[in-house]
Amino acid sequence: MFHKEGHKIIFITLVFVVGSFFLIDEFITDEWFRKGLMIIILVFFILILQFFRNPKRNTHINENNVLSPVDGKVVVIEEVEESEFFKDKRIQVSVFMSPLNVHVTRHPVSGSVSYSKYHPGKYLVAWHPKASEENERTTVVVENNSTGPILYRQIAGALARRIVNYAKINTAVKQGSDSGFIKFGSRVDVFLPLNSEIKVTLNQKVRGGETIIAEMS
């Protein structure tokens, strides 16, 4: 299953692959060179398919849990000052996605979207300390009766040049459902209340819509 954000790119890439195969077969006479070019192009197409895959996730909805919004590796767990929405101290958990990870963003909690804003910005590498404040990004806050408001932020990286955000203010969302997509590698930050019980560790690999990153006390 492929994400809808990739349908156009996959089709264009497929046309390119088929056309390239015809041209290579027609004009390249050296057999090994011809096969080598075809293999390179085929690998490129497989990587595109890999990037836009959208596997189903077994989300166990729980009002007291906050799930990871994306696949990747936990790179930050620290207390920070969240200056855009809360304007107070929160626990930040950041998940870095490589180009090989699934890049679907999922709602970490169920509830109502109270804030959703896009910010243009730079394209620093996603693990840069200032990426959360200076890179292109979107910020979404979901109000949940048990956890309170949970903020998550999609952040573009050096390769990611387009962030897609489906969250609209005053709409109800379901934990684990699609909330957006980040193209070609980046990270997502989640800002949690200080009394949250963190369930992940640094460098742990997590799965969007399945891995519990925090429980509410």
Point out the residues that are catalytic.
186
- In whole angstroms, give the CA distance from residue 214 to residue 107: 14
Q: How far is CA 21 from the centre of its chain?
A: 33
Phi-psi region of 25 (alpha: psi -120 to 50; beta: other; left: phi over 0): alpha
Nearest to 58 by CA among 2, 4, 106: 106
Q: Are 96 and 125 in contact (CB under 8 A)?
A: no
Q: Are 64 and 215 in contact (CB under 8 A)?
A: yes
Quickly list DSSP for 85-130: TT-EEEEEEEEEE-TTS--EEE-SS-EEEEEEEEE--B---TTSTT
Angle, alpha carbons 164-169-172 (nearest 5°): 95
Question: Which residues face 138 on adjacent strands?
Answer: 118, 154
Q: How many CB atoms lie within 10 A of CB 170?
A: 8
